[in-house]
Amino acid sequence: MIIQVLLLISGLALLITGAHGLVDGASALAKKFKVSDLAIGLTIVAFGTSAPELVVSVFASFQSHQDIVFGNVIGSNNFNLFIILGITGLIAPMVVQSSTIWKEIPISFLGIVLVYILTNHIFGTDQNILTRIDGLILLILFGFFLYYVYNQLKSDPVAIENKVVAYSNLKTHSYIIFGLAGLVTGGRLLVTTAVDMATTFGMSEKLIGLTIVAAGTSLPELATSVVAAFKKNSDIAVGNIIGSNIFNLFFILATSAVIRPIAYDTVFDLDLYILAGGTIFVFMAMFTGKKKKLDRWEAAILMVSYIAYLVYVIQK
């Protein structure tokens, strides 16, 4: 057991270190080619915090571990919404922009509804499966979302805090190569160890994906949002969480489905209901107490709700 836990921690460490290295190297390389800070922030930096979820889901998809794919994506989104947003809201009440309330949060909710519709054969298919066509639909919608974000940031480029450090060519390429190596090695190690632990301890891949894997791959979002909360930067703290949830549903899940159609277990419906309920709660919280603000008591409700949900999932 100790060896498996150490391997799991090593996989997570490699994932996160690799993501940081890749972002630093790719950002420095992009800067050499005179790519704007806005474009770097929108693409490379945004990708960086979700790279662990992407790599884990892609490996799990390749190896036909469907429950880890869905558990990782849905579990990460629940962890982001209930725990990370809860922690940041307790540190400092989060003031939320109107665009986030009326556009990004509804887009996140739309993603949940779409995934539910596509995986529950509502359109008459006889199998619960996320097909390649479903994945392409989500990817096309993700493209529209990126275009919307680009226009938002172009009108307010200060919204991205992106300090790109200039490196030598050798250092830049080393960061990229070792970053990719860390992501690939860490992702494979994490998936393999998670499956081994599920087999050894009689736990389901669903439970492993929803808890350990989901929480581990969400560590970059946790670090980013907590730092932003302490700096009283609500836009980055909240935007990072909502944006990551959209990224996970529309890009990571879609990419995994395009690689290989993913069989869906309807037991995940409950987890989608929880995610949808939490998203609605955050939206409604913008109109209770102080307007356009997630107050500390609302953040506390998010955290308590997640703990209750986690206890239920583990005991089930």
Residue 293, classed as helix, strand or coil, is strand
> 148 pLDDT exceeds 70?
yes
Q: How large is the average pLDDT for residues 261-268?
A: 92
Q: How large is the average pLDDT for residues 277-291?
A: 86
According to the model, what pLDDT value does residue 32 have? 77
List for the chain the helix, strand, coil content (%; round to 5): 80, 5, 15
> 22 pLDDT exceeds 90?
no
Q: Could you report the per-residue pLDDT of 195-208, keeping only the tens digit for each?
A: 788 778 788 888 88
Q: Return mean pLDDT, the chain.
A: 83
What CA–CA distance (Å, rounded) separates 96 from 99?
Answer: 8
Q: How large is the average pLDDT for residues 284-298?
A: 83
Q: Could you report the per-residue pLDDT of 36-55, keeping only the tens digit for each?
A: 655 565 566 667 777 788 88
Structural domains in the chain, CATH included, are: 2-315 (1.20.1420.30)
According to the model, what pLDDT value does residue 43 have? 60
> 281 pLDDT exceeds 90?
yes
> 95 pLDDT exceeds 70?
yes
Kindly state the tokens that stand for 170.
Answer: 């050798």
> 8 pLDDT exceeds 70?
yes
Strands 293-294 and 129-130: unpaired
DSSP of 139-176, one letter per residue?
A: HHHHHHHHHHHHHHHHH-GGG----PPP--HHHHHHHH
Residue 100: pLDDT band (50, 70, 90) is confident
Cβ neighbourhood burial of 87 (10 Å; 0-12, 13-18, 19+): middle
Residue 58: pLDDT band (50, 70, 90) is confident
Cβ(55)–Cβ(186) below 8 Å: yes
> 250 pLDDT exceeds 90?
yes
Burial of 253-285, coded b for 16+ CB within 10 Å and e otherwise, reads bbbbbbbbbbebeeebeebbebbeebbebbbeb
Name 226's Cβ contacts closer than 8 Å, sequence gap at least 6: 84, 87, 88, 91, 237
Q: What does pTM read for this prediction?
A: 0.85
Residue with the bigger pLDDT between 226 and 274: it is 274
What CA–CA distance (Å, rounded) separates 135 from 118?
Answer: 9
Residue 304: pLDDT band (50, 70, 90) is very high
What CA–CA distance (Å, rounded) separates 15 from 187?
Answer: 6
Q: Give, in order, the Cα–Cα distances in Å from 310 to each of 83, 190, 275, 277.
A: 11, 21, 13, 15
> 165 pLDDT exceeds 70?
no
